[in-house]
């Protein structure tokens, strides 16, 4: 009987110690929560994609993301244009573990209306590759050039140029992000950019799948958020993708043309 009472007492003491440890840690847990990069729900977004299981290709297609050289999308609204072109160029990325991945370069040009004319205010080179196993498209960084005064015909900035937001996986702790999953699932949450030292931390969340939009069917909606800029709420940056086309709506920008154009076969490295 003594051993039973002793066991009960020991169990009660251990339970008390366990509860006490929880209360000691609780303020720290409550203080940090899930706020890893700027939003309280950051830890609910996937950041570990098991890339070690992937073999990558830089030429191919995901139903919602076409990575074929020469493919172009043009989206416009009344005052803005976005021209996205898959280049023939490639970019070799070296991850922190020493693994080298050859990615495809996608150029994005942001064009704004200036009176009766248009001027290019941003040119970015983005680096992507497709996991052969899952057909998911991963984002390995970008070189961004912002020019408020506009670029000339030779892509030279006519004023002050900024490279803020540029990042590269494997540099300064930056890691690849997921730009388009292989299987769209409502509610799926994931990091698209993971470069906190460069203030490039974007997230994506599926909010709708399989709907019709105009001439397209089977479309998906992904809402982007940006913890590094304090943008944590859904609905502020909405993107819609449709199968066989890719991005058809980016906030107020809507697709007006898609197809293939010629490109020079050269290497960005």
Per cent of the chain over pLDDT 90 is 82
Per cent of the chain over pLDDT 70 is 86
d(CA 87, CA 69): 5
d(CA 58, CA 128): 7
Q: Is 163 part of any domain?
A: yes
Q: What are phi and psi of 18, to 5 degrees?
A: -65, -45
pLDDT over 80 at 269, yes or no = no
pLDDT 10s digits, 213-226: 999 999 999 999 99
Q: What are phi and psi of 228, to 5 degrees?
A: -65, -20
Q: How many domains does the chain have?
A: 1
For residues 86-102, give the mean pLDDT.
98
Q: So what's the pLDDT on residue 236? A: 87
Q: What are phi and psi of 103, to 5 degrees?
A: -110, 165
Q: Is 264 helix (H, G, I), strand (E, B) or coil?
A: coil
* Angle (CA) 100 65 105, round 5°: 40
Q: Is 33 part of any domain?
A: no
Q: So what's the pLDDT on residue 84? A: 98
Q: Is 200 part of any domain?
A: yes
pLDDT over 70 at 4, yes or no = no
Q: Which residues lie closer than 8 Å to 114 by C-beta, 6 or more apart?
A: 150
Least confident piece of the model among 2-16, 76-90, 250-264 = 2-16
For residues 102-106, give the mean pLDDT.
98
Q: Which domain holds residue 147?
A: 42-260
Q: Is 27 part of any domain?
A: no
Q: Is 9 part of any domain?
A: no
Alpha-carbon distances, residue 38 vs 3, 64, 203, 227, 233 (angstroms): 53, 29, 11, 4, 12
The alpha carbon dihedral of 46, 48, 50, 52 has a sign of positive
For residues 241-264, give the mean pLDDT.
94
Q: Which residues lie closer than 8 Å to 172 by C-beta, 6 or more apart?
A: 195, 197, 198
Q: pLDDT band for position 1 (50/70/90)?
A: very low
pLDDT 10s digits, 170-228: 999 999 999 999 999 999 999 999 999 999 999 999 999 999 999 999 999 999 999 98
Alpha-carbon distances, residue 64 vs 110, 166, 174, 184, 210 (angstroms): 21, 24, 25, 10, 12
Average pLDDT, the chain: 89
Q: Is 76 part of any domain?
A: yes
For residues 68-97, give the mean pLDDT.
98
pLDDT over 70 at 266, yes or no = no
Q: Is 239 part of any domain?
A: yes
Q: Is 92 part of any domain?
A: yes
């Amino acid at each position: 009987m003594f051993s039973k009472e002793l066991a009960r007492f020991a169990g009660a003491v251990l339970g008390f110690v366990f509860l006490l440890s929880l209360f000691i840690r609780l303020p720290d847990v409550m203080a940090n929560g899930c706020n890893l990069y700027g939003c309280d729900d950051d830890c609910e977004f996937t950041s570990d994609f098991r890339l070690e299981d992937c073999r990558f290709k830089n030429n191919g297609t995901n139903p919602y993301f076409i990575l074929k050289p020469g493919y172009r999308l043009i989206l416009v609204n009344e005052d803005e244009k976005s021209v996205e072109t898959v280049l023939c160029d490639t970019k070799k990325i070296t991850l922190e573990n020493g693994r080298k991945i050859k990615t495809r370069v996608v150029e994005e040009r942001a064009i704004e209306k200036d009176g009766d004319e248009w001027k290019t205010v941003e040119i970015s080179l983005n680096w992507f590759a497709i996991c052969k196993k899952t057909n998911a498209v991963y984002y390995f960084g970008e070189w961004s050039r912002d020019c408020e005064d506009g670029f000339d015909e030779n892509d030279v900035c006519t004023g002050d140029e900024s490279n803020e937001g540029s990042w590269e996986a494997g540099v300064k702790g930056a890691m690849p992000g997921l730009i388009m999953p292989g299987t769209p699932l409502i509610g799926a949450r994931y990091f698209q950019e993971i470069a906190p030292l460069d203030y490039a931390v974007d997230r994506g969340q599926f909010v709708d799948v399989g709907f019709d939009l105009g001439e397209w069917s089977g479309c998906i909606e992904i809402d982007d958020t940006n913890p590094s800029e304090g943008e944590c709420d859904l609905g502020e940056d909405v993107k819609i993708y449709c199968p066989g086309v890719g991005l058809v709506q980016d906030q107020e920008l809507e697709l007006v043309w898609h197809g293939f154009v010629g490109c020079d076969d050269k290497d960005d490295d």
